[in-house]
Amino acid sequence: MSIYAEAQVGVCYGLLGDNLPTPAQVISLYKSQNIKRMRLYDPYNQEVLQALRGSNIEVMIGVPNSDLAYVAASRDNAFDWVSKNVRSLPDVNFRYIAVGNEVKPSDKFAPLVHPALTNIHEVISIYGLKDKIKVSTSVDTTLIGVSYPPSEGAFRDDAMSYLNPIIGFLVAINAPLLVNVYPYFRYISFGVLLVIIKSTVYLFVNLHPSRFVSV
């Protein structure tokens, strides 16, 4: 099996730009390329959501940072959010809800992430969806203090007071911590990219892979 086929592929669907294809065209492209997973940053774009109905594409939607205060304030607010953005579309295959995106420990949103996570997960559980839809949050790689070798990876010490309660909660509900990585930026800067697939390291130089030992 080629290394390109070993992992299921998902693609972020960005909506910032000019002359974008229509949502129907995007969904058709996903299907034609056998792309089975989508991350949708805008949970309120009804044209996109309607195009996703019946497609069976696995969707990750996000609670925007601007909505964290509302969702964190009460479980009733979380019910309102989930009802409007998830339960109203039973034929969209939602699999993840990312509660907040790249919130840093110093951000004003930081104290809101954990209570917002808790409220959204409680609502998902009450609706009987906790085994289908995982609730988590997305962080960026600036929170990582040690990145190499991967077996010794660790977050920055100053980020742990923010991350520890979140990670503990995610462990308790058997959900992953989501990390936004930007390999293309690394590649265009250095021309070299390391990729780990099933514990095997691949080095890409000018997009040609060489296989290395497992780590």
Residue ranges and CATH numbers for the domains of the chain are 10-181 (3.20.20.80), 182-215 (no CATH)
At 196, is the pLDDT very low, low, confident or very high (cuts 50, 70, 90)? Answer: low
Distance, in Å, from the CA atom of 18 to the CA atom of 21, rounded to the nearest integer, reads: 9
* Residues forming a β-bridge with 58: 37
At 213, is the pLDDT very low, low, confident or very high (cuts 50, 70, 90)? Answer: very low
Distance, in Å, from the CA atom of 170 to the CA atom of 106, rounded to the nearest integer, reads: 21
Q: In this predicted model, what pLDDT tens digit does every residue of 148-166 receive, in sequence order?
A: 777 888 999 999 999 999 9
At 15, is the pLDDT very low, low, confident or very high (cuts 50, 70, 90)? Answer: confident
Position with higher pLDDT, 59 vs 41: 59
Neighbours of 40 (CB within 10 A): 22
Q: What is the mean pLDDT of the chain?
A: 87
Taking CA atoms, 84 is separated from 22, 79, 89, 155, 188, in Å, by 23, 8, 8, 35, 40
What was the pLDDT predicted at 203? 60
What was the pLDDT predicted at 128? 96
What was the pLDDT predicted at 2? 44
Whether the pLDDT of residue 201 is over 70: the answer is no
Which of 163, 168, 174, 157 has its CA nearest to residue 113?
Answer: 163
